[in-house]
Amino acid sequence: MGDAALTSQRDPTGEAPGHAPAATFYFPKDFRWGTATSSHQVEGNNTNNDWWAWEQEPGRILNGDKSGLACNWWENAEADFDRTADMGTNAHRLSIEWSRVEPQPGLFDDDALDRYRQMLQALHDRGIEPMVTLHHFTNPLWLAEKGGWEEPSVVTDFRRYVRAVVERLGDLVPLWVTINEPMVYAVQAYLGMGSWPPGKNSLGLVGQVARNMLQAHAAAYHLIHELRPDSQVGIVRHWRILEPSRSSSPLDRWLAGRLHCFFNRYFTDALVTGRLRWPLGGGRMSELAGTFDFLGLNYYTRELVAFDLGHAGGLFARRHFAPGAEMSDDDYGEVYPPGIYQALKLAAAYRRPIYITENGLPDADDDQRPRFILSHLRQVWAALQGNLPIMGYYHWSLIDNFEWDRGWQQRFGLIELDPATQERRLRPSGELYGRICRSGCIDRDMVSQYAPELLDQMFPA
C-alpha cells in the first residue's frame, strides 16, 4: 500500500503541524474509499431464496416487513452507482445472489449473469473498483430444502456455483470474498432462537455449519486462483469486541476470553493453520491452511460479558452494553470508536492486508452518523500510524436497505430511502463522507461543520 507511513498530522507540503494552516488527518493516496451492500438487501424480488420464504411467514420479520422491491437494484443499480460516484468513492462491495445465478441445481441463468456483468462494468465505468462477495447470508431454496449448510454436499454445490460466476465475471473482479461473516450466519441461523432461517437451535449444528463453510471457502479459494491467478481472495469476519463486565471477576474475564476465541478467533485461526478447534470439530484440513490473501473486517460495536448461571442457553454469558453508553437506534449497539482500533490490532496479527468491509450504525435521523464516521475514521488513521496494513474503508451502507429480521426499521444508509416510493435523499452524513472521499483526509472544517462536539477531542488546542 503506497504512502502508508503517516507519521503526523502534517500538511502535504511537509511543514510541521504548528506551521500548517490547519491540522489534518491524511490517509494514503491509494486508499479505497468505499461503500457496501448485499444482494438480497438491495436488489428486490429475490423470490427464489430462503430469506424471501422466511419473510412470508407471520412473525418472522419485525413489523411484518418484507424486502419486496428493496432498493430496486436489479432494475436500476446504476442510478445509485452514479450517486456514490458523485460522492467521490472509488470502491464498492456488493454480492452475487446465488439463487438468481443457479435457480435450480446445475442450471445457470445466463440473463442473471449478464445483469451482474452489466453492474460490474457500470462500476468500472465510473472509476469504482468492485469487491464481490459470493455468499452473503442467503441460500437458494433448492439448497435450503436439502439441508443447506448442514450437509457436506454444500461444498460441491458452492464450488459449482463459484465456477460459473468466476468464469463469466472474473475479468471484472479484482477482489473476491468467498463468505460473509460465517460465524454470524452459523450462530444466527442455528443458535439464534428462530431469528434467521432455518431457525434451529443447536450448538452442534453451529460447529457443523462452520466446518462446512471452512471447506467451501477453501474449495472456492483454490478454484478462483486456478481460474483467475491474478485475483485476490479473502473472507469477511465480523469482529465483535467482547470484554468482561467486571474486570475484577475471574469468571467474567475467563468467559469473555472464551467467547472471543469462539466468535472471533477459531474460524480465522483455522484459515492460517488448517487446524480445527471446538466447536468446529477436531483434526486438520490440509487444503485450508493459508487460504486467504486478505482479511475483511466488519466492526460495529462491543459487548460486555458477565458470567450468569441463569443463561445456560447462552453458554452462561449475559451479554450487555456498558451502562450509560451512547446507543444507536433500536438499541442495535453501543457507539464505541476505540473498538475498531482494537479489532484492527487483532486482525493485523494474521499478517494479511486488511479491508474494513463494513462499519456503520442505524441512525434514521442522522444525528449520530457524522460523529460516528469521523470518530471511527480517526481510529483507523491512528491504526495506520502503527503501519497496520489497512487497504480501505467500506461504509455500511450506501443506502437504507432491508435489514434481515429487523426489516426496514434499521436505517444504515448514507442515502435515505423511502421503500414505498423509492425516493432517495442524500443525508448530511453522506455529504460528509463525500468530502472525506474526495479529499482523502479529515480536516478541522469538516468536524466543525458536521460534528462540532468532537473538535476538542480531535483537534485539541
pLDDT, residue 212, reads 97
Mean pLDDT, residues 227-250 taken together: 96
The whole-number pLDDT of residue 204 equals 92
Q: How far apart are CA 363 and CA 279, in angstroms?
A: 35
- Whole-number Å distance between alpha carbons of 17 and 10: 5
Cα-based distances in Å from 46 to 67, 74, 84, 365: 9, 9, 23, 29
Q: What is the mean pLDDT of the chain?
A: 93
Per-residue pLDDT reduced to its tens digit, 168-192? 999 999 999 999 999 999 999 999 8
**Lookup result for grid cell 491504526:** 383
Residue 179 gets the label, from left (phi > 0), alpha (psi -120 to 50) or beta, of beta
pLDDT (mean) for 221-245: 97
User: Which contiguous run of DSSP H or E holds residue 411?
Assistant: none
- Grid cell 487497504 — which residue? 391
Confidence of residue 3 (pLDDT cuts 50, 70, 90): very low
Q: Per-domain residue ranges for the chain?
A: 17-458
pLDDT for 297-311, tens place per residue? 999 999 999 998 877
Q: For residue 252, what pLDDT band results from cuts at 50, 70 and 90?
A: very high
The stretch 362-368 carries a mean pLDDT of 98
**pLDDT at res. 132:** 99
Give phi and psi for 12, each to the nearest 5: -60, -20
Phi first, then psi, for residue 124 (nearest 5°) are -60, -40
**Separation between Cα atoms, residue 304 and residue 242, nearest integer Å:** 6
Nearest-angstrom CA–CA distance, 455 and 459? 5
Using DSSP's 3-state secondary structure scheme, residue 352 falls into coil
Instruction: Report the range of poorest mean pLDDT among 15-29, 147-161, 314-328, 377-391.
Output: 15-29
Which DSSP helix (H) or strand (E) runs through 36? strand 32-36
pLDDT of residue 150 exceeding 70? yes
Under 8 Å between Cβ of 432 and 450? yes
Amino acid at 193: M
Give residue-wise pLDDT tens across range 332-357.
999 999 999 999 999 999 999 999 99
Asked whether 402 and 408 are in contact (CB, 8 A), the reply is yes
Q: By mean pLDDT, which of 49-53, 96-100, 261-265 is the weakest?
A: 261-265
Please report which helix (H) or strand (E) contains residue 184, including its range: helix 182-190
Crossing angle for the helix pair 203-227 and 182-190, to the nearest 10 degrees: 150
* Residue 407: Cβ within 10 Å count: 18
CA dist., res. 362 & res. 440, Å (int): 25
Average pLDDT over residues 204-210: 94
Q: Which three cell numbers stand for residue 200?
A: 434451529
Q: Would you place residue 194 in the very low, low, confident or very high pLDDT band (cuts 50, 70, 90)?
A: confident
Count of beta carbons in the 10 Å neighbourhood of residue 29 = 11
Beta bridge partners of 91: 34, 129
Residue type present at position 453: E
Contact 387, 5 (CB under 8 A): yes
CA dihedral 177, 178, 181, 183 (to 10 degrees): -150
Please provide the CATH number assigned to the domain covering 17-458: 3.20.20.80
Q: Which of 3-12, 283-292, 401-410 has the lowest mean pLDDT?
A: 3-12
Residue 366 to residue 323: CA distance in whole angstroms: 23
Inter-axis angle of helices 338-348 and 369-385, to 10 degrees?
40
